[in-house]
């Protein structure tokens, strides 16, 4: 983990490779400091920015949905294997 000290108004930049191979920038700026920090995030279009607790919920929902779709597929396969009347 990289630890960076910033004062209000200061930022840091993360460079990522875009779909076309060109660099794209994510800027994170400290808006206010103190007992709670307020951060501003500027990211390329299509880049999703989540609070960690929300992202964990999204991951859990995706895993649950993928499990249900796999169960549905196996059920449909089982139905197709039944003798026809």
pLDDT tens, position by position, 28-55: 999 999 899 999 999 998 888 999 999 9
The answer to whether position 4 is within a domain reads no
Do residues 85 and 54 both lie within one domain?
yes
- pTM, two decimals, is 0.66
Q: Please give the residue range of the domain that contains residue 80.
A: 50-85
Do residues 54 and 79 both lie within one domain?
yes
Q: What is the number of structural domains in the chain?
A: 2
pLDDT tens, position by position, 10-29: 999 999 998 899 999 999 99
pLDDT tens, position by position, 51-74: 999 999 999 998 888 776 556 666
With contact defined as beta carbons under 8 Å apart, do 25 and 45 qualify?
no
pLDDT for 75: 65
Which residues have a Cβ under 8 Å from the Cβ of 43 and sit 6 or more positions away? 26, 27, 49
pLDDT grade, residue 76 (50/70/90)?
Answer: low
The answer to whether position 3 is within a domain reads no
């Amino acid at each position: 983990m990289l630890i960076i000290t910033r004062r209000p108004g200061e930022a840091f930049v993360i460079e990522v490779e875009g779909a076309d191979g060109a660099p794209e920038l994510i800027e994170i700026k400290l808006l206010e400091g103190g007992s709670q920090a307020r951060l501003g995030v500027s990211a390329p279009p299509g880049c999703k920015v989540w609070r960690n607790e929300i992202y964990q919920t999204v991951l859990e929902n995706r895993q649950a949905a993928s499990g249900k779709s796999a169960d549905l597929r196996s059920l449909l396969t089982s139905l197709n294997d039944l003798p026809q009347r």
